[in-house]
């Protein structure tokens, strides 16, 4: 009977999964777990009542945990759907001209925060962490989509400046929210990834590329080779074959290291699809550059 009296206390201690588990499980269908009630049947004839009661508690905890993840997934999907148009404009010409895009993102987060205030603290924190993860992933995905190709130095500086401004705005939004929940993120701040990307984009000296790529890879061993290639191929002073060779050499030089599961998942999500118009826009400037170089050499 003591075990049965402790059930409410036990259920109150159910906590959501960590961020890396939530990210992997958000898109899974939990319906099968919720509809299967046969698991909670207890055969009292074959087991001691106390053991049967605790087994029932564990089954209930699993069901409540599944329900919790499903609800958290729905909450995160809702805000991400509202921000879809903003995500689509990242790293576009409109994004460079219009600073209100990140402003819309931040105001939307603050608006939803009014609804999140009633959530349990640990659930509240995990939802905010996932939203931060999703926003960072969308920026990386925009780069992976190769919206920027063969970009001259002055334009790259403008892009990096816009990116830094967005990072500052996002930090001003998320940091107070985490602070009021007394949450200290011991892991790598996700927006630091964007800061490092912005610094890499502004690199002027082509001769320093190999060292900078290696430095970036040491800092973020989770970074995929394809993403690193795309990041290098943004420049107008290197060919695609040179970018590919540089990234391959650095990947071999640095080798494999222990990685953060959240950052690993973050870079794995950065697999943007390139549209036909983007391919054409990327090819034309390179042809022009080759013609100029050819004329200069004659």
The pLDDT tens digits for 227-268 are 999 999 888 888 889 999 999 988 888 877 777 888 889 998
Average pLDDT value over all residues in the chain: 79
Give the angle 178-79-63 at the CA atoms, nearest 5°. Answer: 80
Helix (H) or strand (E) holding 268, with range, is helix 261-269
For domain 83-269, the CATH class is mainly alpha
CA distance 161 to 117: 33
CA dihedral 137, 138, 141, 147 (to 10 degrees): -150
Number of Cβ within 10 Å of residue 95's Cβ equals 21
Q: Which pLDDT score, from 0 to 100, does residue 10 have?
A: 46
Could you read off the pLDDT of 47-94 as tens digits, one per residue? Answer: 567 787 888 888 888 888 888 889 888 989 999 999 999 999 998 888
Q: Maximum Cα–Cα distance for the chain, whole Å?
A: 95
Write down the domain spans for the chain: 83-269
Q: Would you list the DSSP string of 86-122?
A: HHHTTTSHHHHH-THHHHHHHHHHHHHHHHHTTS-HH
pLDDT in tens, 172-222: 999 999 999 998 876 567 889 999 999 999 998 888 999 999 999 999 999
Task: Choose among 77, 61, 66: nearest CA to 30.
Answer: 66
């Amino acid at each position: 009977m003591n075990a049965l009296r402790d059930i409410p206390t036990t259920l109150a201690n159910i906590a959501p999964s960590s961020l890396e588990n939530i990210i992997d499980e958000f898109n899974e269908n939990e319906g099968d777990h919720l509809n299967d009630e046969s698991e909670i049947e207890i055969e009292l004839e074959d087991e001691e009542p106390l053991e049967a009661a605790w087994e029932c508690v564990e089954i209930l905890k699993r069901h409540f945990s599944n329900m919790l993840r499903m609800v958290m997934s729905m909450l995160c999907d809702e805000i991400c759907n509202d921000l879809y148009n903003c995500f689509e404009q990242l790293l576009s010409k409109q994004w460079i001209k219009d600073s209100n895009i990140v402003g819309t993102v931040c105001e939307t987060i603050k608006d939803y925060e009014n609804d999140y205030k009633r959530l349990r603290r640990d659930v509240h924190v995990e939802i905010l962490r996932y939203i931060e993860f999703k926003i960072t992933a969308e920026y990386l995905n925009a780069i992976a989509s190769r919206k920027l190709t063969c970009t001259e130095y002055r334009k790259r500086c403008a892009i990096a400046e816009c990116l830094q401004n967005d990072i500052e705005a996002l930090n001003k939004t998320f940091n107070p929210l985490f602070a009021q929940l007394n949450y200290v993120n011991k892991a790598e701040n996700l927006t630091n990834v964007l800061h490092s990307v912005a610094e890499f984009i502004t690199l002027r000296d082509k001769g320093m590329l190999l060292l900078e790529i290696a430095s970036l890879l040491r800092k973020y061993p989770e970074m995929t080779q394809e993403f690193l290639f795309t990041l290098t191929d943004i420049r107008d002073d290197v060919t695609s074959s040179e970018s590919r060779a540089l990234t391959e050499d650095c990947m071999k030089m640095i080798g494999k290291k222990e990685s953060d599961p959240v950052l690993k998942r973050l870079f794995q999500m950065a697999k943007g699809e390139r549209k036909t118009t983007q391919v054409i826009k990327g090819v034309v400037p390179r042809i022009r550059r080759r013609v100029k170089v050819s004329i200069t050499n004659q």
